[in-house]
């Protein structure tokens, strides 16, 4: 099994790259999806969020209103840090359970952990390789405005709330430049995939020889 941490920054196209890798046969673990699961009503993370941020971040069905919560935390770093303190432990537990399930049924799996805050949290050692989906900061802002209908100021607030994507480059084992057309990105993934298969085989062989 090879566990790859897929990271980047907001609006850089990680989901697109993850889908391309899934089409190749990778198993995707989406941290945003895990966060949704642990934030469902009456789950521990949900209770922590409501206790700290109040019922005003809930929809009528008691689910977290992520847009409303985002508006609160993205403009205040301390509030964002508090949200992360509440959510991250539950997400990490769910992540480890999912890895164990995949490994048990598919010991030769290539797992892509779509982990936006991998570098910020210093979790690089918890994966075998770090894959960074890269686009320049100016393109991040442009895509975020186009995708979400944000003003330039709103897009800047969200981009500035995260670690600069350029500061993540030194931590990457693999960089996927996603600035151009999707066809170019796909061609890059086509070249990367055989190398990942080879690394997974090498890891399994090393594990067997060390027994």
Q: What is the pLDDT of residues 36-87, one digit of tens each?
A: 899 999 998 999 999 999 999 999 999 999 889 988 898 888 998 899 899 9
Of 72, 89, 108, the residue that ends a domain is 108
Q: Which residues are bridge partners to 4 per DSSP?
A: 112, 129
Contact between 8 and 14 under an 8 Å Cβ cutoff? The reply is: yes
Asked whether residue 95 falls in the same domain as residue 129, the answer is no
Residue 49 in tokens: 């969020």
Q: Which domain holds residue 13?
A: 1-26+109-211
Please choose, from the candidates 114, 90, 145, 146, the residue with its C-alpha nearest in 3D space to the C-alpha of residue 9: 114
Q: Quote the Cα angle for 47-32-178, to 5°.
A: 160
Of 74, 108, 142, the residue that ends a domain is 108
Asked whether residue 113 falls in the same domain as residue 103, the answer is no
Give the tens place of pLDDT for each residue, 126-163: 999 999 999 999 999 999 999 989 999 989 988 888 89
- Please, which pLDDT band fits residue 210 given cuts at 50, 70 and 90? low
What pLDDT, on a 0 to 100 scale, did the predictor assign at position 158? 87
Q: How many other CB atoms are there within 10 angstroms of residue 211's CB atom?
A: 4
């Amino acid at each position: 099994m090879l566990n790859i941490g897929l990271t980047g920054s907001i609006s850089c196209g990680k989901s697109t790259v993850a889908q391309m890798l899934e089409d190749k046969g990778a198993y995707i673990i989406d941290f945003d999806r895990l966060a949704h699961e642990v934030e469902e009503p009456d789950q521990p993370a949900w209770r922590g969020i409501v206790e700290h941020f109040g019922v005003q971040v809930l929809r009528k069905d008691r689910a977290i209103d992520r847009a409303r919560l985002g508006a609160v935390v993205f403009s205040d770093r301390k509030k964002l840090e508090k949200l992360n303190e509440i959510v991250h432990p539950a997400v990490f537990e769910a992540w480890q359970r999912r890895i164990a399930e995949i490994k048990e049924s598919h010991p030769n799996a290539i797992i892509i952990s779509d982990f936006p805050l991998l570098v910020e949290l210093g979790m690089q050692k918890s994966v075998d390789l770090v894959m960074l989906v890269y686009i320049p900061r100016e393109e991040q802002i442009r895509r975020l405005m186009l995708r979400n209908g944000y003003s330039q100021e709103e897009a800047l607030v969200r981009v500035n709330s995260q670690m600069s994507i350029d500061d993540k480059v030194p931590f990457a084992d693999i960089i996927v430049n996603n600035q151009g057309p999707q066809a170019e990105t796909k061609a890059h993934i086509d070249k990367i995939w055989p190398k990942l298969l080879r690394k997974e085989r090498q890891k399994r062989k090393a594990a067997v020889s060390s027994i």
